[in-house]
Chain A
């Protein structure tokens, strides 16, 4: 059993740290009837052991009940179920509802935070929120204005409240939090506003700040040990971040941390990624010699100790970003076959279009392959440990917005800034050993130009045009199954729009995901065959979850179009007459769906 192994490993960490491991989270996430973290479990697998709904009967799925959130903005994340209570969150103003599943989903309590609405326009790409977390009788909410609130799960009363950042400086909150041991791990958004972003631990009982680790800056701010923090098998050395920046640009260096966090209790490490190095005009970030400079540790996978925040290892995927390929996507943990050997790995589908597999204890790079064949900015990652370019992607000069220069339009770069995948989390099925990945199939033209930095104002400096990947099926998305041991696509289903919904894999051999037109879809985990679809009231950018109540398995999904998808796709990303390819009469998403937050819950009849 995995759990007993975890428990014995935890005993070791208890001796090292005063804090007890968070047994409550481990116990709750092991119970498939509940869904107490946004990510399903610490490993971020988004897999449910429930198997009542299976590949044979899923076609008879029916709507059991629905619930309107009353909010029109983009709905990311999913509800939680703890015992017989469901917790539903909304985008700004970040209301939280507790619903009584024993009593026809009657509202037990509603929490309505008071926030200054001036935070709204500071939030790049809609006022989304990726959901609440549960541990030890508390619901944790991370608000748009960066307030982190612990609510009594029974009553909805505030237990503590703390502030993680300042929206007036462009710092905002969109991500969920991770309860680990006696702490809550909280990230921050704002790379496009030149924020020096960070990840912070707060005491789970009081909200008092315990440590804060920046993505960029001096060693004592990024919590790197020059001797012990490793990257690609070597200690990072002194000033590993500082020496990769020109002057004091790191102070507005970005590296946002708004993605999903996973945790390995046996190693006592948690994992997350950092975003772009603020301005999208790479010329303004060049080294003193006018050449590319890494801007560490943006675009990086971090493994940190939750007790101290100190990094065990870090791996920068996209040094000197030229395309806004944030590294914040989820970090699922799994045991899979790599090169004929069972390995405990971390898998990451990056915005840059590469699917990475790393040894999660050491950060050793095992696999880095394109998970969309259209990815063209790189020829691949140097996998030779003896090479001076080990671990680096080889940039194709024609796709380099830096080499082409300021005021030059670099055309046909795949993927677009949205990435081959954005935050929409993948799922992993231990039954098939495969990852199920919602993806974007979008390319771009990118023209960088000079911008000026003002605190609290956007610091972008590029014009982008996005369009469906040319020379493909004409759609803007795929839903794929991925073998992370081999770095290969096993099957791929074309979708007319980007798949912006988190997937769910089930023990019934079914994989669920939502689409921007509003369909909840069920496909066979083996081959991707369509098994079921239902059109919910609005486009789906939320994540599918499952729970069991009174012996019945339910599937639940938030619909409510918006988010970054709601910006471009609502308007139609491209002009049907501009000759960009075989897309023809492609029409905007607004012809398929409209706004509105609704929870739809399904079960067998």
Chain B
């Protein structure tokens, strides 16, 4: 996995790394991926053919662990500006709308490096979170959660059923966060 947690723990994450990465991701992901085009890694992480991470929602609404993990991390790290469930606030955009046009590579670039004065003429600042492990260790998780919301694949509100975290996923998490 290009942005797997193992890699993040092995290297200091820098904005430059993500910009190199964004050049590789040529094709933006289609809005909704038909099930057949997805593959799942041994650690339970779903991705599109080009490697872009994606959610997996079963017919009964059960979501994969990473989408659920994204829900949790989003509401710890992102929601104080971008609002609950990525619905936006009085001063930061609704990411459920942003991800309708923003592809994975650009998403990663903006989160890692930040950007300025896009939403308002002045004083609209997305901070660079490239050295924030609580975000970067879960960047794919957060992306697939917002993407699932943006695609309407999951309803608003606290997720219902989910696939549980495996021991391997837990270990990856601890390796990445450290301590």
Contacts and interface: CB of A to CB of B under 8 A. Distances in A.
Interface of A: 72-74, 92-93, 117-118, 120-122, 124-127, 280, 407, 409, 445, 447, 449-452, 454, 457-466, 561-562, 566-568, 570-575, 577-578, 588, 595
Given A120-B123, A570-B83, 12 more contacts: A73-B90, A73-B91, A74-B90, A92-B123, A121-B127, A458-B76, A459-B134, A465-B158, A561-B90, A562-B90, A566-B91, A578-B158
Nearest to B165: A407
A121 B125 contact: yes
Contacts of B122: 117
A460 B77 contact: yes
Nearest to A93: B123
B133 A577 contact: no
B87 A463 contact: no
12 contacts: A72-B91, A117-B116, A118-B125, A121-B114, A126-B90, A450-B174, A454-B134, A458-B76, A465-B84, A567-B80, A568-B84, A578-B157
For B79, B89, B120, B124, the residue with the greatest tally of chain A CB atoms inside 10 Å of its CB is B89
B71 interface: yes
B89 A117 contact: no
A121 B132 CA distance: 13
- The main secondary structure of chain A at its interface with chain B is loop
B127 A450 contact: no
A567 B91 CA distance: 8
Given A457-B129, A575-B157, A577-B155, A452 B89 contact: no
B151 interface: no
A423 to B, nearest CB: 16
Contacts of A452: 133-134, 137, 177-179
A463 B177 CA distance: 17
A532 B67 CA distance: 49
B72 interface: yes
B127 A118 contact: yes
Interface in B149-172: 155-158, 165
Contacts of B114: 121
A566 B131 CA distance: 27
Interface in B65-84: 71-77, 79-81, 83-84
B6 interface: no
Interface in B11-31: none
Contacts of B123: 73, 92-93, 117, 120, 127
Contacts of A460: 76-77, 134
A578 B126 CA distance: 31
Contacts of A280: 76
Contact of A463 (B75, B125, B173): B75
B83 A568 contact: yes
Contacts of A567: 79-81, 83-84, 89-90
Contact of A461 (B131, B134, B137): B134
B112 to A, nearest CB: 13
Contacts of A572: 87
